[in-house]
Amino acid sequence: MSTARTAGLPAPSRPPGEGLPIALLLPGQGAQQPGMATGLYQREPVFTASMDAFFELMGREGTELRQDWLAEHPRVPLDDASRAQPLLFAVGYALGRSLLERGVRPAVMLGHSVGELAAAALAGVFDLAAAARLMSARSAAMAATAPGGMLAVAARPEDLAHLVAGRSGGGRQTIAVGAVNAPAQTVLSGLEPHLSEVAAELAGAGVTARRVPALQAFHTPAIAGAADAFRRAFDTVPLHAPSIPVRSTRTGRLVTPAQAVDGAFWAEQLAEPVLFWPALDSLLRQGDFLLMEAGPGQSLSMLARRHPHIRARRSRVLPLLPARAGDDLGTFLAAVSHVHP
């Protein structure tokens, strides 16, 4: 029996040269890199057209975004939400469109943070014009939040509970688990100076922790106000059931038709933890897949390689872009050749 059928998913297209159904992974905040995917721009037609369409739909904001994306020394830092968020969305969406136009149709999509919105757009939950408005609203909402950041910690969430408990300010929790990326890979997210205090405590205890490239406290109750502001942007956006299944990293389960047409479902994930590992584990326990990462940095690919089913070669990982700045076009074409010669 097809692994996709055992997962309760529609039978996927299986282009020549690849026997496994495709699960498209779309990364989020922290995956951004200078010049990410610019090697495909003006060289891969569908990617270029998709990026240009997104920039044009964003108007003047899109013009400035494209300039900073292509600039060696951008005017606004890439890690700022006003740059990282829309660019990660656009690159993931454009890569996904490039696959779809080649007849490579994923059986399912799974997005991390803003990558989940790219998955929703690719699945037809909302169109690109709506996506441009939503990304502008999301960036504006995050820009209004207090300074913060994120820490990737080599520990389980339960090991960090003592660092989270009791930290509050202004009547709100200032530190929280922002993402569960792997069994011993947890992201703490929070406001400053509390996050720096936690980083110092972890260093003193000999626990490995590194800063995630982010200037805001994504996926914590501390930015609930931003999630509320973002939700209002959905009031004028027509929403539809996904044409391609989307496994949510908010719930770990497939997005239902009712959830897909509820703007609050998409907005509230901004202030809730990203359950990447539970979502991935649930997917791989129900079937075998070729995991194709549509975004820069290969961060999700590296996390996925920790899964027992990947280590046992039951499922495979295939990034569409290099881990660091390099041959974007060559890497993309080589990956595509595995599934669509």
- Tell whether the model's pLDDT for residue 26 goes beyond 90: yes
Which tens digit of pLDDT belongs to each residue from 277-306?
A: 999 999 999 999 999 999 998 999 999 999
Whole-prediction pTM: 0.92
Q: Domain residue spans in the chain?
A: 3-145+223-339, 148-217
- pLDDT of 2 reads 36
3-145+223-339 is classed in which CATH architecture?
3-Layer(aba) Sandwich (3.40)
Q: Tell me the pLDDT band of 11, cut-offs 50, 70 and 90.
A: very low
- pLDDT of 340 reads 73
Distance, in Å, from the CA atom of 196 to the CA atom of 194, rounded to the nearest integer, reads 5
Distance, in Å, from the CA atom of 283 to the CA atom of 3, rounded to the nearest integer, reads 11
Mean pLDDT taken over the chain: 92
Which numeric CATH code is attached to 148-217? 3.30.70.250
H, E, C per residue of 185-206? EEEEEEECCHHHHHHHHHHHCC
DSSP per-residue letters across 285-339: HH---EEEE-SSTTHHHHHHTTSHHHHTTSSEEEESS-SSSS-HHHHHHHHHHHH
Tokens 């595509």, located at residue: 336
